[in-house]
Each structure stands twice: as structure tokens, then as C-alpha cells.
Amino acid sequence: MRGILFDGEAAVVADGLGVTDLEPHQVRVRVGAAGVCHSDMSVVDGKFGAMFPPPFVMGHEGAGEVVAVGADVTTVALGDHVVVATIDNCGRCSVCATGHPTLCQTSKLGAAIARRNQTGEEPGPGDLPAYFTYEGERILGFANTGVFAEEVVVGQGQVVAIDKGVPFTSACLIGCAVLTGTGAIFNRAKVYRGESVAVIGVGGIGLNVIQAARIAGATKIIAVDNNPAKENFARQFGATHFVDSGRDPAVAAVHDISSGGVHCSVECVGHTTLMQEAVEMLRPGGNMVILGVAGMESTMEVAPFQLYQNKSIMGCRYGSARPAFDIPALVDLYLDGRLLLDELVSATYDMSDLDKVFADLEAGKLARGVLDLS
Ligand SMILES: NC(=O)c1ccc[n+]([C@@H]2O[C@H](COP(=O)([O-])OP(=O)(O)OC[C@H]3O[C@@H](n4cnc5c(N)ncnc54)[C@H](O)[C@@H]3O)[C@@H](O)[C@H]2O)c1
Ligand SMILES: [Zn+2]
Ligand SMILES: [Zn+2]
């Protein structure tokens, strides 16, 4: 089988990959398409440090067809089209039971993130799920998945069946950009109609924050990007204003447009200075959501008094998603014409063209680039 490996230095297309035999709760998915997220670039740039020991199969935003199911699988069947989610939550622990599966520490990756943040200890062999085989070893898939491969093995909680009318090239984006971006608004900050939202970074993630703010009924949706070419994308997805932060100071512009600060600001770039600015954009009572992934050791400075009037800084893994609820809801919004998915796909590429996707992403040409593996 063919796939894209991160070998510790670069992304390389490799033949000779395999997948492990199914455990009773697992399914095997033939990947139809996989979106390329900035987090995939961060893998190659080394931003995740030692969190994922190489070599591993890259890719974490995918959709495909179920081609085998384990003996205990009840939620999907052979032939189903599914979105693949990156959280392998257990469904039974206290956080799963209270609707917060992205916090599940029964999941090996969830536990490894929590341990790293508490003790600094990096994951060792066996600490993360490894369901690929390569050169006689079991190897990881990035973020519990590894969808830059022809097939992937995941837990049944990670796949949600969808309407077969949704093309894989659009459906795959639900697997990260859409769940993450919309979840920041729907699940984490819980934006209400009539509120104002500032979105910093108009990439695949930011565009989904923008469209969720529109669906939630936010009346001022202020997109901020230092690339003025992003204005068209931003307005297409629902931004009411655009600030070219390469030209105008963004904090002042946002305060001006929102008459005193926004109810919610969302950082979708991964720069700590922008996170600080996002806090400064808030009105009293406002919530700043961090979606961008900064370097593992980077720090941000915030004057505590900035937060005095009930402002909050919210971390947000994977849109605080509940895949079994959120994925069907997002597909319904798409089929209803309210959630734009096809418009997110700026171009499709072959698996061997990942470098070109990265170059186009860096050049600001893409809402999302998608690997078509069908
Ligand atoms: N929290 C999560 O679970 C989660 C999930 C997926 C992605 N992410 C992270 O979200 C971030 C965005 O991912 P993406 O795929 O949308 O990236 P992208 O490359 O598609 O978009 C980034 C956008 O930020 C803009 N930008 C860059 N520098 C800027 C600056 N200094 N000021 C203003 N705008 C700037 C770019 O022009 C671009 O439009 C990344 O850090 C990624 O790792 C987080
Ligand atoms: Zn992603
Ligand atoms: Zn759990």
C-alpha cells in the first residue's frame, strides 16, 4: 500500500505500507480523499516537537469507504461512506459521558497530551496507537489517523457514516477544518445571534469559524489576515468586514468596527503575538479561543488585568467536537446549502504532489488543498 510518511526530516511517498489486523472494535477505511491542513505542514516544520515519534503516516483530515469491520462494530457497515475523526475517545468515561470526548484520557493520544502538559514527558514506544506496518514494524498514524494512505484502521468511534451524495473531496474537510472551525463557535465559545466575532487567519480553519459565526447569527464577523487576497474567501464564507493586518493595526480596527470590542475572537494562525492581540480585541465578558497551534515551547504574555472584566482565554482541541453528533449536523447544514464545503476545495492533487500543496498553501492560494485518493 502507498502512503506519505514523515521520516523525521521530510514527507516521502512510500510503498510497502500495511495496516494491522482489525481488533474487534476497529474498522478499515479505504481513503477517498484527504485535506491538507496547516498542521500537516507543522509536522514537517517540526512544530510538534517529539509528540509524534517518526516514522509515521501523515494526514488527519479524511473521508472514505468502510471496507472491513471488526466483530464488535455496530455503528457502521461495509460500504458506508464515512468521515474519519481524529479523537479515539472511549465513550464511557466521565468526560465522554458529559459530552467532552476531546478530553478523553482513556484515549492514548489524549493521555499523552495531558501527561506532556503536566510533566513535560514525551510519548514513548507504545504510548500512541500504531495501526500501520512498515518494514516489519508497527508505526503510528498522525493524530490517531494517518489518512495520507490508501487505507487506514481506526476505532469505530472515529468514523461517522454520511450521505453518499457528499463527494469525498468535500466530506474529508469535515474531518478537521470544519469540525475545528465550526466547533470553536458552536461548542466552545457558544456564540449567540447578534454577537460580534473576530477571526484572525483566513485559512481552512478560519473560514469555518467565519461560516459558523454566520450560521450562529453573529452580526459583525470581522476577518483579519495579513494577506489581502484572503478578503474574497472571507466574504464568500460570511465575513461582514475584512481587516488587512499588514496595512492596518488589527486591534484598533476591530474595536472600531465592533464599537468597543468583540464578544468572541478566534486565533487561527498559531502565533503567540496574534493570540495576545486576540485578547485585546475582546469586549468585557468576551471569549478568546485559541485554535492555532504555536510551537510546543512558545509562551504568550497577557496582563491579568486585561481579563478582569470576565474575559476568558479558551484552549480548543478539535473544535471540542462530539463527532457522532456534530458530523451528521454539519452534513445536514451542507445539504441544506448553509454550510459551504465544495467552495473550500480550491484544488485537488495527487498523493505525490504534497510539496506542491504546501507551496500553494504557503502562497495563500488555497482555502484548502485536497489529495484525491479515489
Ligand atoms: N486546535 C486544533 O485542534 C487545530 C486543528 C487544525 C488546525 N489547527 C491549527 O490552526 C492553524 C490554522 O490552520 P489552517 O489549516 O487554517 O492554516 P492556513 O495556512 O490555511 O491559514 C493560515 C492563515 O493565516 C494567515 N496568516 C499567517 N500569518 C499571519 C499573520 N501574521 N497575521 C494575520 N494572518 C496571518 C495566512 O495568510 C492564512 O490565510 C494552524 O496553526 C493549525 O495547526 C488547530
Ligand atoms: Zn487539521
Ligand atoms: Zn472517554
Question: Is 70 near ligand 1, meaning CB less than 6 Å away?
Answer: no
Residues 80 and 201 in one domain: no
Of 182, 174, 236, nearest to 208 by C-alpha is: 182
User: Residue 89: nearest ligand to its CA?
Assistant: 3
Q: Which of 299, 316, 333 is the last residue of a domain?
A: 316
Nearest CA to ligand 1 atom 30: 226
Phi, psi of 271 (to 5 degrees): -110, 130
pLDDT (tens digit, 9 = 90+) per residue, 64-92?
999 999 999 999 999 999 999 999 999 99
User: Residue 110: nearest ligand to its CA?
Assistant: 3
Residues 199 and 62 in one domain: no
Residues 213 and 264 in one domain: yes
Could you give the CA distance from residue 91 to residue 107 in angstroms, rounded to a whole number?
10
Q: Answer for the pair 291, 267: CB distance below 8 angstroms, yes or no.
A: yes
Question: Is 245 near ligand 1, meaning CB less than 6 Å away?
Answer: yes
Question: Is 230 near ligand 1, meaning CB less than 6 Å away?
Answer: yes
The range of the structural domain enclosing residue 154 comes to 3-177+320-372
Q: Of the residues 205, 225, 237, 245, which should be mutated to test ligand 1's pocket, given the most ligand atoms within 8 Å of the CB? A: 205
Residues 288 and 226 in one domain: yes
Could you give the CA distance from residue 115 to residue 126 in angstroms, rounded to a whole number?
14
Q: Answer for the pair 23, 156: CB distance below 8 angstroms, yes or no.
A: no
Going by pLDDT thresholds of 50, 70 and 90, the confidence category of residue 125 is: confident
Number of C-beta neighbours around residue 336 at 10 A: 8
User: Residue 109: nearest ligand to its CA?
Assistant: 3
- How remote is the CA of residue 95 from the centroid of ligand 1, in Å? 28
Show the cell assigned to 8. Answer: 523525521
Q: Does position 368 have pLDDT exceeding 90, yes or no?
A: yes
Number of domains in the chain: 2
Going by pLDDT thresholds of 50, 70 and 90, the confidence category of residue 303 is: very high
Residues 98 and 160 in one domain: yes
Show the cell assigned to 278. Answer: 486576540
* Cα-Cα-Cα-Cα dihedral sign, residues 31, 35, 38, 41: positive
Residues 250 and 172 in one domain: no
Residues 20 and 165 in one domain: yes
Residues 28 and 43 in one domain: yes
Show the cell assigned to 314. Answer: 479558551
pLDDT (tens digit, 9 = 90+) per residue, 353-363?
999 999 999 99
Could you give the CA distance from residue 198 to residue 257 in angstroms, rounded to a whole number?
10
Peptide bond into 55 cis (omega under 30): yes
Going by pLDDT thresholds of 50, 70 and 90, the confidence category of residue 204 is: very high
Going by pLDDT thresholds of 50, 70 and 90, the confidence category of residue 50 is: confident
- How remote is the CA of residue 219 from the centroid of ligand 3, in Å? 36
- How remote is the CA of residue 124 from the centroid of ligand 3, in Å? 21
Residue 368: CA atoms inside 13 Å, Cβ hemisphere, count? Answer: 33
Share of the chain above pLDDT 90, in %: 96
Residues in the chain: 374
- Ligand 1 atom at minimal distance to the Cα of residue 367: 20
Question: Is 317 near ligand 1, meaning CB less than 6 Å away?
Answer: yes
Going by pLDDT thresholds of 50, 70 and 90, the confidence category of residue 126 is: confident
**Unique residue bearing C-alpha cell 477544518:** 177
**Across residues 198-226, what is the average pLDDT?**
98
Residues 156 and 88 in one domain: yes
Residues 157 and 188 in one domain: no
- How remote is the CA of residue 179 from the centroid of ligand 2, in Å? 9
Question: What CATH number corresponds to the domain at position 163?
Answer: 3.90.180.10
Residue 95 pLDDT: 96
Show the cell assigned to 73. Answer: 462494530
Full 3-state SS string of the chain: CCEEEECCCCEEEECCEEECCCCCCEEEEEEEEEEECHHHHHHHHCCCCCCCCCCEECCCCEEEEEEEECCCCCCCCCCCEEEECCCCCCCCCHHHHCCCHHHCCCCHHHHHHHHHHHHCCCCCCCCCCCCEEECCEEEEEHHHCCCCECEEEEEHHHEEECCCCCCHHHHHHHHCHHHHHHHHHHHHCCCCCCCEEEEECCCHHHHHHHHHHHHHCCCEEEEEECCHHHHHHHHHHCCCEEEECCCCCHHHHHHHHHCCCEEEEEECCCCHHHHHHHHHCEEEEEEEEECCCCCCCCCCCCCHHHHCCCCEEEECCHHHCCHHHHHHHHHHHHHCCCCCCHHHEEEEECHHHHHHHHHHHHCCCCCEEEEECC
Q: Which of 316, 341, 356 is the last residue of a domain?
A: 316
Q: Which of 316, 337, 354 is the last residue of a domain?
A: 316
Going by pLDDT thresholds of 50, 70 and 90, the confidence category of residue 325 is: very high
- Ligand 1 atom at minimal distance to the Cα of residue 361: 19
Q: pTM of whole model > 0.95?
A: yes
**What CA–CA distances, in Å, run from 362 to 290, 355, 372?**
21, 10, 20
Question: Is 140 near ligand 1, meaning CB less than 6 Å away?
Answer: no
Residues 212 and 64 in one domain: no
Question: What CATH number corresponds to the domain at position 237?
Answer: 3.40.50.720
- How remote is the CA of residue 59 from the centroid of ligand 2, in Å? 8
Could you give the CA distance from residue 37 to residue 173 in angstroms, rounded to a whole number?
9
Question: Is 174 near ligand 1, meaning CB less than 6 Å away?
Answer: no
Residues 248 and 364 in one domain: no
- How remote is the CA of residue 21 from the centroid of ligand 3, in Å? 24
Residue 153 pLDDT: 98
Q: Does position 213 have pLDDT exceeding 90, yes or no?
A: yes
Question: Is 35 near ligand 1, meaning CB less than 6 Å away?
Answer: no
